[in-house]
Amino acid sequence: MKWFVGCLAIIGLCSLPGWTFAQHTQQAEPPAMHVITETFGQLPDGRTVHRYTLSNRHGTRVQLTDYGAIVTSVETFDKNGQRANINLGFPNLEGYLERHPYFGATVGRFCNRIAFGKFELDGRTYTLATNNGPHHLHGGIHGFDRRLWHARPYQSEEEQGVEFTLRSPDGDEGYPGNLEVTAVYALTDRNELRVEFRAETDRPTILNLTNHNYWNLRGAGNGTILDHELLLEADYYLPVDATLIPTGKVAPVEGTPLDFRNYHRIGARIDQIPADPKGYDHCFVIRGEPGTLRRAARVRERQSGRVLEVHTTQPGIQFYTGNFLSGGPSDGGFPQYGGFCLETQHYPDSPHHPHFPSTVLRPGQKFHEVTLYKFGVE
């Protein structure tokens, strides 16, 4: 274990007592790391959709599909060595073809909201698709979550993954510029799911990419996440109006039910949030310098012992508690608060707030953001 403790010291986790890999300790021989490719279904136009299964030497498994560059499941072990899927999703392609709550999806061109589906860039006004009342949400009606990406599975000694690529043409959902996007999802032998986004454009445009995983550390479908305990590395958050558009203020979390600088049960103060339905759906300002990989959040669930950490280079993180989940078929049967999201991203509605970190991407510039999901038990 000396090498493992050294790794934790490097990434600043050595101060966390009891942290260890979520692995099957009774396993005599660790399995080899590998990628399995299989057919997941067909689109209405006849194109084949594939599913990719990543497995590391600790028995952690991640499944993805090239439709939407979606994470369909993440299986980890609990403190008793029992493995379960902790990521909300559907068992087959048909669930993803319907309009769903972005389960596990790669979201773009612009995740979160843009007020009234309009923005101005270099003196020109662009009009986007509106799909959230009067606002633009998660890339529009036919966002990246509803595209068939090109997939290239790969593996090395330390990780295996899938590199997804997509070309978003000029005018796509109203956005300017031909955009070349790469999304890499890799499962490492350190029990990390690494998500890496890269993009380039041939015209000035705006860009804000995220992954929309829903987590339940007790296991997907095993109750709600209200008893999970959350810690956020954030002293400030972005207040929003009744339609969840940022007001432009950057407010301190101190003295509010959004203060997660120390561990709090997710459900302890949820009724104090002035929203309908009740719940968290707020962007937090992550401490530290954007562009540097740093810890943004840590969640623990005492019944299973599972722990999830999120590290990212992004400036913000959207904490969402599945407020709009209804338990219906389009929600995969998952109830309200059946999962939580920690979406690393730039701030919502950034084009309308010049003091927010810029989401403008110009020719010659390279968009590059990395997020790590670290799985363990304590």
For residue 141, the tally of other CB atoms under 10 A from its CB is: 14
Of 75, 200, 343, 369, which is the active-site residue?
A: 343
> Residue for token digits 């400030």?
236
Count how many residues are written for the chain: 378
Question: Catalytic site residue 343?
Answer: yes
Query: CB 86: neighbour CB atoms within 10 A?
Result: 26
| Active site (annotated) includes residue 212 | yes
CA distances to 49, 80, 199, 266 from 64, rounded to whole Å, are 11, 26, 20, 28
Which is catalytic among the residues 100, 136, 138, 212? 212
- Collapsed DSSP state (helix, strand, coil) of residue 352: helix
CA 93 to CA 242: how far, in whole Å? 34
Amino acid, res. 5: V
Instruction: Annotate 195-235 with DSSP letters as a single string.
Output: EEEEEEESS-EE-B-EE---B-TT-TTSS-STT-EEEE-EE
Residue 133 burial by CB count (10 A; 0-12/13-18/19+): exposed, middle or buried?
exposed
| Residue of 106, 107, 183, 199 lying closest to 150 (CA atoms) | 183
Structure letter (DSSP) for residue 288: S
Residue 235, CB-side half-sphere exposure with 13 Å CA sphere: 2
Strand partners, 244: none
Active site residues: 212, 343
